[in-house]
Structures are given as structure tokens and as C-alpha cells.
Amino acid sequence: MAATHAEQGLVNQWRDILAVHARTLCELDRELHRHGLGASDFEVLDVLAASTAADGGSSYRVQEIAERVHLSQSALSRLVGRLEKDGLVARGMCAEDRRGVRVCLTAKGRRLHGEVLPLQRAVLARMLTPESAGPHD
């Protein structure tokens, strides 16, 4: 059954969104790699930094971070393990649920986040402005 004109328009719009996402993610990875981070690493640091700024140093449960960065809990656990090994985050037991794990930024993580934040925001501005985010043929 052939797609209607409206359906094809939605498919094309979806593919354009995916293309912008893929190009932006590749550019973020390329730029952040110089600092030893990938786009997902930065997203975790950014979520934790926003939490720290909002309430003076709190932490998030792993499942709360997973919801904000759109990673599976197992992928996020591996990522947090790498960030912890690099001294950027610390993990601890969750007081509300002893099975849970809370994650917070370390001083080193806050410094690195502050260094790369302008770079990440510049990539987003460059890649997501209307003139750069359109379809590239």
C-alpha cells in the first residue's frame, strides 16, 4: 500500500530530525573527544551540574539520570563507571532505597564540565540554528 502524501511528509520530517540528530551527535563527539569525553558523557555531567547549581550539590539516582539522558540503565551504569574511574563522578548508596545508587559530580568533574560547557553550547548553536539544521543533500 502506497503511503499518502501526508504520511510521506511525516516520514521525511522524521528522517530530517534523525539526520540533524546524527550530525549534531557526531560533531559533539568530535569536539568533546579532545577533552576525553563523548556526547553522552557530557550529558551526564551536565545533568549533574544542573542539579548541583539548583540545590547546592545534590545527586541523582541512576534511574533519574537515565530518564534525562535517554540511555538504558545498563548503558548508563557502564558510562557512570567510566566517569567514576576518571574521577569525574562519585557513586554512593541511596538513603531512600538501599538498592539504589546515587551519583554526584566531583570537584574534578565540575571543573571539566565548566571547561567544556561553552564548547558544547557552541556546537549546539552552530548545528541547530535554522540555517544549519535543515536537510543536507
What confidence tens digit (pLDDT) does each residue in 78-95 have? Answer: 999 999 999 999 988 766
Strand order in the sheet with 101-105: 60-61, 101-105, 89-93
Mean of the per-residue pLDDT values for the chain?
Answer: 87
At 91-128, the pLDDT tens digits run 887 666 666 778 999 999 999 999 999 999 999 999 99
Say if residue 52's pLDDT is above 90.
no
For the domain made up of 10-129, give the CATH fold: Arc Repressor Mutant, subunit A (1.10.10)
- What is the sign, positive or negative, of the torsion defined by CA atoms of 128, 134, 135, 137? negative
What is the reported pTM?
0.82
